[in-house]
Structure 1
């Protein structure tokens, strides 16, 4: 259908060319429904989940309204977590490649405020961040939103769940009343509608219920029936071997316990939770995304906003109480025309949760008993890659090409053995084939990157 093509919208050719280069061909449902209204300057309240393409749905119109010669903040995007803020900022920079000299600044808690103040002193066209830290900058006078024409609330329901209602309203008070407000939420509870009423003018309501084709996801439920949960998990992992797994727990403490349990069994597992500082969180996410870690263990809050490509398996170690959260969890697999698998553990006393999920999805669950599983013992799979951390980043003018050149040039590592390269402000992470990791590490330590020596360690 031609009306689902980005070229059907009134967009500059330079933007269309950039979208094509980025692999944006046809619009996703949320983009097709949102963009015409967003481009008309209307307020939106849109129901859409992670992976639906909502970043482009709000970013394309926003970018077209940016005046590059004006270094005042013209757009503000509020997100619930640092991870989502970083992902949104990264995608914004990609989508903005058709423009030159457009500055996107990320402002999140858990990071030093000094460098953020320094970045803002030189101006920022777009600011992305968490409500608490944005409010800190507004109080200090280091952020001015008088010229902000677009306010975006991304994953608004999660921000309200995390207690940010008051901060969101106070931040909005610093923006002009004649602004465009775009609100994106995975669910529509009453408090979202109240927030919309406070901040928006005659918003267009858009709802995209499904972000994945359930036919692409094999859903299996395993009853523990007298078997302890960790043992049941071991059987599941042997029964469903995969190289990329997200395992959901309901509590932070459970995440830490399962991480220790799996690592003792030889699995390359990492937990993502609130006790990690920003550098540690970055390292966990980078290692999982670049295939240096097999299992990511997380709560719903920690995993919110994660968009992992080619995820083979989702495990619900704990079933959620809300069936909508269950559907949101499993929707991280089975994307982009690929098949996925979601497996869940449950106790006989949790049958009511299965009933709720069954009713919500309008289909009967496929159930098995853990004690009846015949599973041949299998060794924990080794990740294909290993991550090297280099103590240098964007602030040192490092680019991915510099790292690739250092590895494939002086170090003599084949380009096919070098994986994903992630450059942050102060650190760079590069995935190298496991068999070449030690060689790459020693060569980088002995050699130079852009004529300089930097500290390098293996994670």
Structure 2
């Protein structure tokens, strides 16, 4: 639905204008605001509405709410991460400026974080998503629009850096964790001016919110919150006929890297990403740059 604010309505109108009068039209949306109702009334005739309740079991997702002052929001995010130490976390923000502020703050604190928002070029978006998917960065900081359609496996935690302005969007955010029978935790930071949003969530969920105190969050031992993997970016991709097997073969063959130390490989049109264990990343980089992939010398760098 938020895509309508970005010119998506015009695209829908153009496509439907080229379809026959007798047709079947199905519209899908995570939420159903007035803009979607208006679109449905224009392009559909007496449509049937099917609604799936988006509530989450307390057995799968633990939700905690923390009241904060606006000036301690960034430090609160750091406290949450230092206490729970998730292997993977999506931190939701409302604006791209807030995304960048959060990434800068976490990076300064020694926490591996990358940002995802609507202004990223496709190439940069591919890079960010590849790094998060292959576990070479711990925290993905994203706006709701940029995070639409993401399919993230085994997400340990969701942090609402700012509480969603729509209670249904909150449910959608929280549902990113605790999937496929796994458990997850969702942390929401609530400034006094956002109290009415928390009340709306409570009314929608029909259950009291679980409030906690920031002072109860103590840093856990274990050193810096750094991922186990690092990502190597290769300056060739699908258009260059590079396949995952070519990259794996170059690493485990000529480069001599054990296959167990190689993680996910993602191939895009003009670049490819491969995760390797952090401790051997520089060694793998050197050997790939000195050697060849599919018979060619290709530029490789560490992200």
Correspondence for 2:87: 243
For 1:211 and 1:356, locate their aligned partners in 2 and report how far apart those are by CA, in whole Å.
14
Correspondence for 2:159: 315
Contact 1:441 / 1:457 at 8 angstroms: preserved in 2?
Answer: yes
Tell me whether 1:289 sits opposite 2:133 in the alignment: yes
Tell me whether 1:366 sits opposite 2:210 in the alignment: yes
Matched ranges for 1:372-451 at <5 A:
373-375=217-219, 379-451=223-295
Correspondence for 2:25: 181
In the TM superposition, what is the alpha-carbon distance from 1:263 to its structure 2 partner? 0.5
Correspondence for 1:198: 42
For 2:71 and 2:37, locate their aligned partners in 1 and report how far apart those are by CA, in whole Å.
44
Secondary structure at the counterpart of residue 236 of structure 1: helix
For 2:38 and 2:68, locate their aligned partners in 1 and report how far apart those are by CA, in whole Å.
42
Deviations 1:186-229 (A, max 9, x none): 12234323323433466553322237534310000112258722
Deviations 1:353-399 (A, max 9, x none): 22111111011111122245444676332111111111111111111
Contact 2:289 / 2:299 at 8 angstroms: preserved in 1?
Answer: yes
Matched ranges for 1:26-425 at <5 A:
157-200=1-44, 203-210=47-54, 212-224=56-68, 228-371=72-215, 373-375=217-219, 379-425=223-269
Contact 1:392 / 1:454 at 8 angstroms: preserved in 2?
Answer: yes
Matched ranges for 1:7-22 at <5 A:
none
Question: Could you state the TM-score of these two structures normalised by the residue count of structure 1?
Answer: 0.62
In the TM superposition, what is the alpha-carbon distance from 1:332 to its structure 2 partner? 0.2
Deviations 1:315-370 (A, max 9, x none): 11101121111111010000000000001111234322221111110111111222
In the TM superposition, what is the alpha-carbon distance from 1:239 to its structure 2 partner? 1.6
Query: Unpaired runs of 5+ in structure 1?
Result: 1-156
Give the root-mean-square deviation of aligned CA atoms.
Answer: 2.1
For 1:191 and 1:230, locate their aligned partners in 2 and report how far apart those are by CA, in whole Å.
33
Query: Unpaired runs of 5+ in structure 2?
Result: none
Contact 2:116 / 2:146 at 8 angstroms: preserved in 1?
Answer: yes
**Cα 1:284/1:179, change in 2 over 3 Å:** same
Question: Could you state the TM-score of these two structures normalised by the residue count of structure 2?
Answer: 0.92
**Cα 1:427/1:375, change in 2 over 3 Å:** closer
Contact 1:225 / 1:371 at 8 angstroms: preserved in 2?
Answer: no
For 1:361 and 1:211, locate their aligned partners in 2 and report how far apart those are by CA, in whole Å.
7
Higher relative contact order (CA 8 A, sep 6+): 2
In the TM superposition, what is the alpha-carbon distance from 1:442 to its structure 2 partner? 1.4
**Cα 1:376/1:362, change in 2 over 3 Å:** same
